[in-house]
Amino acid sequence: MLLIDGKKVAAELRQKVKDDVDAIVREYGRAPHLAVILVGEDPASQIYVRYKEKACEEVGIVSRIWRLDGATGQCALEKLITELGASDDIDGILLQLPLPRGLDVGRCLSLVNPKKDVDGFHPENVGRLSIGLPGLKPCTPYGVIKLLEYYGLSPAGKNAVVVGRSNIVGKPMAMLLAAPTPFGNATVTVCHSRTADLGAACRQADLIVPAIGKAKLITREMVKPGAVIVDVGMNRLPDGKLCGDVDFEGVKDVVSAITPVPGGVGPMTIATLMSNTVEAFRWRREKPLCP
């Protein structure tokens, strides 16, 4: 069984980004700037933003955090997103989700300048992904593809099952796996909470990508021997430990490759955010998204 080492692959990707940032500084006289907007006090979001800040520091990207009060109104948030979109000093914009209740996430995301949309959630980038045009891709699913690529685990011609259909993970994951690209070309099934027989769907899969948010939902009986599992799920157990959507101990002897949680997809998400920030910097200057 191959234990897919997300920490190692992410460290290599961050090193590559650092080299890219150094080259940008030499060429343009400044590093890429990432603007992070954090609204309210959600404890998990505070932690994620701290990780992102630290990762930026490591690779030489300049990050600036806009910490807004939880009572911030829609208008004030929209004004900030629009101003950052127009500012020549800002290369990437990240709106940390979830937003406090009462704020319109869809409207905010669609106001992010698509060329600075490092999360790949703007409708233009979603559209670009769906029709195979270059664009900024959502960090988590793109990180999954990079893991498969690193280990030469090509999904081409294989049956892939994505469990989850969220806009940020499941849907873009399915699109990337089905795309006619070197690490796409899979035959993809998307499962969700209304899937009649999740076990039957998973048992025919050569590759399972669970993005559910339910600890250990995917068990040994649901996995075909030799399957590859890339577990996106991150769940906090009552004892405080993190675990994925897969019963790792139960399946580890039947799979051919699997990611651990933590140490699998999580580090890739942040490393991909760093590489997306460099992409956004270059796209605006060297290869405009909208010629």
Binding residues vs ligand NDP (CB under 6 A): 140, 163-166, 168-170, 191-195, 198, 211-214, 217, 232-235, 265-266, 269
Closer residue to ligand NDP in complex, CB, 65/97: 97
SS3 letters across the chain = CEECCHHHHHHHHHHHHHHHHHHHHHHHCCCCEEEEEEECCCHHHHHHHHHHHHHHHHHCCEEEEEEECCCCCHHHHHHHHHHHHHCCCCCEEEECCCCCCCCCHHHHHHHCCHHHECCCCCHHHHHHHHHCCCCCCCHHHHHHHHHHHHCCCCCCCCEEEEECCCCCCHHHHHHHHHCCCCCCCCEEEEECCCCCCHHHHHHCCCEEEECCCCCCCECHHHCCCCCEECCCCCEECCCCCEECCECHHHHCCCCCEECCCCCCHHHHHHHHHHHHHHHHHHHHHCCCCCC
Asked if 119 is an active-site residue, the reply is yes
Closer residue to ligand NDP in complex, CB, 196/290: 196
Asked if 52 is an active-site residue, the reply is yes
Among 121, 114, 129, 84, smallest CA distance to 99 is for 121
Asked if 96 is an active-site residue, the reply is yes
Closer residue to ligand NDP in complex, CB, 60/262: 262
Least distance CB 212 / ligand NDP (angstroms): 4
Pick the catalytic residue from 20, 91, 117, 119: 119
Least distance CB 216 / ligand NDP (angstroms): 12
Pick the catalytic residue from 20, 91, 96, 146: 96
Q: Are 83 and 72 in contact (CB under 8 A)?
A: no
Closer residue to ligand NDP in complex, CB, 60/263: 263
Least distance CB 233 / ligand NDP (angstroms): 4
Least distance CB 54 / ligand NDP (angstroms): 15
The residue with its CB nearest to ligand NDP is 166
Least distance CB 194 / ligand NDP (angstroms): 5
Closer residue to ligand NDP in complex, CB, 41/197: 197
Pick the catalytic residue from 52, 115, 116, 146: 52
Residues tagged active-site: 52, 96, 119
